[in-house]
Structure 1
Amino acid sequence: MTEIDPVDLTADLVRCPSVTPADEGALEVLHGLLEATGFDCVWADRGGIRNLLARWGKKGHARTFGFNGHTDVVPVGDVASWSVPPFGAEIRDGVMYGRGTTDMKSGVAAFVAAAIDFVRTSPPDGAILLAITGDEEGDAVDGTRALLDHMAKAGERMSVCLVGEPTCPDRMGDMIKIGRRGSMNIQISLTGKQGHAAYPHRALNPLPAMMRLMDRLASHELDQGTEHFDPSSLAIVTVDTGNPATNVIPAECSAGVNIRFNDAHDSKSLTAWIKQEVAKIETEFGVKSRLQVKVSGESFLTPPGPLSALVSQAVIAETGVTPVLSTSGGTSDARFVKDHCPVVEFGLVGRSMHQVDENVEIAHIRQLKAIYTRIMRDYFG
């Protein structure tokens, strides 16, 4: 019985130019392979997004190991800056190049190959569920969320889940993600009264009010960190008036703020704080305000326990490296899975993700498949 080569599968996926939200055949590649090797496959498409759910074993089994990942990728940027075709999957000196090689087509290829070979050689007493989306790099509204909604309606459930995102900062095996910070974006507009710059007393300038507000927000200490999280952060990402004139006081000024927050907060408490500070500015300066709040995800933690220990032991066995349990980095689809079942993340070294000439070491892809295989073997064994 020929084993599935995760390197060849990675190359097949990279050659599909699946810039989010387009699929361009990437999930079809996986669907055909999984269905041909005994997995029950269903499409959970929504909003024009392709989503694939593949199960081996009995639906609703009390021991169902889940994998989650995505096949969509970020745009390539300036193609002329690439030294290789972005979707060519070229291999040079033991390294494969192409958009998605790291984030995260190699991770998907590794867990698909591991799952297929595992059930063919060591059929477990349980089930394996693969939830793969084409909408993670974009708005992520109709991706993993749609898969989880479909599962709820169909009576599918994962007991635990491993998300195959690249998690290692420097070397293979050095980090497992057991949680993520929350993320939210706040757009603030302050409105005063337009006027001539030579007669400021006849106008109401919203700029001093905005500067005062931004200073208060940026200088406020949200917290000093918690047991498993670094301190929360607030970044001012834009301040703009759209005013091309030098002799006109503008009527409106807008600003954007991004907050990355730990488990000392939630989006509701932070929104209430922002509104309170804006209300103070309205009173002090006489301006009017508008707020728009978009929450990308709440902070969450899967406390160190059986699942993180299971993954850690497999990583140590296959790499000789003891991984750090971390909550660093941005958001991932684990923020949706955490409401379904315990979830951790482990994958490749992510140094080149989203960069020009994104690449992955061939040896790391095969090593990742071995780690995922060991995790399943230990979980069911």
Structure 2
Amino acid sequence: MPVFSLDPAQTAWCAELRALAAERLRPLAEKGEPGHVNRPLVAALGELGLLRRLFGAGALELCLMRESLARVCTEAETALALQGLGAHPVAAYGTPGQRERWLPGVAAGGTVAAFALSEPGAGSDAAALALEAVPDGGHGSGDGSSDGGGWRLSGEKCWISNAPEADFYTVFARTAPDAGARGITAFLVPADRPGLTGSPLDMLSPHPIGSLLFDGVPVGPGDVLGETGAGFRVAMDTLNLFRPSVGAFAVGMAQAALDATLAHTADRTAFGGVLKDLQAVSHQVAEMATRTEAARLLVYAAAAAHDEGAPDVRGRAAMAKLLATETAQYVVDAAVQLHGARALRRGHLLEHLYREVRAPRIYEGATEVQRTIIAKELYAS
């Protein structure tokens, strides 16, 4: 697998994805309501076969999908990514029954998934989560899947994408107090489970984000993803796969901002000429392009390393997310500056990107956390 270049088939596929995003997905995205799951858009992703590709896709393929969609329609990219993030633990760690029950609906776009890890007091420090799973021998999962007792989940999850409108949640809870990362278990929790409620959060990002309240929600052994006490591994394996693709999302946004800037500065007249003829402008655009390409190559390299099973995937994934998200913030901001006031008008592409680009520097491990991971990997080698 080439690390620093794509083969013709991959390049053609990316072009096809961009065309599909423009023709089929963006019109549906424009009809969606900010802060809510756009189910027609998710269904279209399923009809086009893109959601099905999430299961079995390598990290590089996932990156190409996310970058291509983000360049044209960030809403479609995010809907695809959230389906993958919420359902990947089921695909990778679920029982045959769990996979059979939930994955066909996710792949078809009729079932919405969510990844419920963050809490009010445990965002970047995922090992500090406090959602409590109290042993409850008299209760199973509520659906007859448990023969030998289960747990009751009590506590809160916060900043959960697709909440509270998802159909099921991959939930991480503490089954062993005072055990740190070793005391966490992953559960598959349907949204209609008694005691589970949620509310939307009014966030800067346009995609749905909410909080979840667990008031003695019953779960049993049949709801466990992987093994009891091994939930932190489920979470980290999922994040290691998706972190480079968060970088790909960022690269797609950076490229969209760069494309818009090239078009604008080539046509916009000012000071007796076009903007591109001003050295201050052309050098700024050159810097934007160089940083975008550097981020893209690092993302591809990290994805290829993941697919090859390289031992340094954790550090590479952190580097890719770090550089790509910080680069996208810089490129979008510079694009806004070069466009002037028109870029701040509600509905302008760059106004949209300016709101979208900020969150990836925080979610799935903030920039500061990525630097910590990178440093630990460097000193451990």
Q: TM-score, normalised by structure 2?
A: 0.29
Q: TM-score, normalised by structure 1?
A: 0.29
Choose 1 or 2 for highest CA Rg.
1
More strand by share: 1
Q: Which has the higher contact order (CA 8 A, sep 6+)?
A: 1
More helix by share: 2
